[in-house]
Amino acid sequence: MSKVKLFSYWRSSCSYRVRIALNLKAIPHEYVTINLVKDGGEQKKDHFLKINPFGFIPSLEVNGDNNQNQIFESLAIIDYLENINPEPSLYPKDLIDRANAIAITESINSGIQPLQNLFVLAEIENLGGNKDQWAKQLITKKFKSLENIMTKTAGKYCIGDTITIADVFLVPQVYNAYRYGVDMSQYPTIERVNKLLEEHEAFKAAHPSVQPDAPKQ
């Protein structure tokens, strides 16, 4: 397989998703830091906007056939990884399970994370709001619905007993929940699934605290 390069930041939850998928599929990759906070954010600089015109990480550079292809959007990147390395698959074979896995994924991908993204929080602060309180309230409310869904779908993991794309999206969002002080004991199913996933080697190695650009303790 051709070499891949991940543009990431230790605390970026969307990059965390891709790191988990790369690890689950045992795809070797190079880690390139895009510092989201230094000097107003490297993601907004011209050199990075050539990589992802939206100014977001993650982005994955794929060197195939002497072409350098940049794939952005974590869902598109993970879909690409699924296609180049189909095993272990992140999509359940059962069609209802698969639909539920995608539903959980999408509820995080479009219904939670974008509303507490860095630039959104900065705008809230500019408008005189309390960004940390906003993030905490938002996640608290959305996790109530997610908990209800997962009481029906979860086994050991989000969907039954096999790791799926829903788990890949869940763990980074729970990381954000802890970051903003959400009381996770309100969501026993999410908390239980997350705890188990955090013990998995692929998830451990993707954790923000062990990334090369994480601040040294």
Ligand X SMILES: N[C@@H](CCC(=O)N[C@@H](CS)C(=O)NCC(=O)O)C(=O)O
Q: How far apart are CA 174 and CA 190, in angstroms?
A: 8
Segment interacting with ligand X (CB under 6 A) among 7-15, 60-68, 158-166, 202-210 = 7-15
CA distances from residue 106 to 128, 170, 199 in whole angstroms, order as listed:
30, 10, 24
138 sits near ligand X (criterion: CB under 6 A): no
4 sits near ligand X (criterion: CB under 6 A): no
164 sits near ligand X (criterion: CB under 6 A): no
121 Rama sector, left if φ>0, alpha if ψ -120 to 50, beta otherwise: alpha
Which residue is it, tokens 């969307």?
14
Question: Considering beta carbons, is residue 156 or 179 the nearer one to ligand X?
Answer: 179
Question: Considering beta carbons, is residue 54 or 181 the nearer one to ligand X?
Answer: 54
Q: How far apart are CA 73 and CA 60, in angstroms?
A: 9
Q: What values do phi and psi take at 32, rounded to 5? A: -120, 125
Question: Considering beta carbons, is residue 109 or 194 the nearer one to ligand X?
Answer: 109
**Smallest gap from residue 78 Cβ to ligand X (A):** 9
Segment interacting with ligand X (CB under 6 A) among 6-14, 143-151, 189-197, 205-213 = 6-14
- Peptide bond before residue 92 is cis, with ω within 30 degrees of 0: no
214 sits near ligand X (criterion: CB under 6 A): no
Which residue is it, tokens 């980074």?
172
CA distances from residue 115 to 28, 54, 148, 181 in whole angstroms, order as listed:
32, 16, 21, 16
Binding mask 69-108 for ligand X (x = CB under 6 A): ----xxx---------------------------------
From 4, 8, 10, 14, residue interacting with ligand X (rule: CB under 6 A): 14
Which spans of this chain sit near ligand X (rule: CB under 6 A)? 12-14, 36, 41, 43, 55-58, 73-75, 109, 117-119
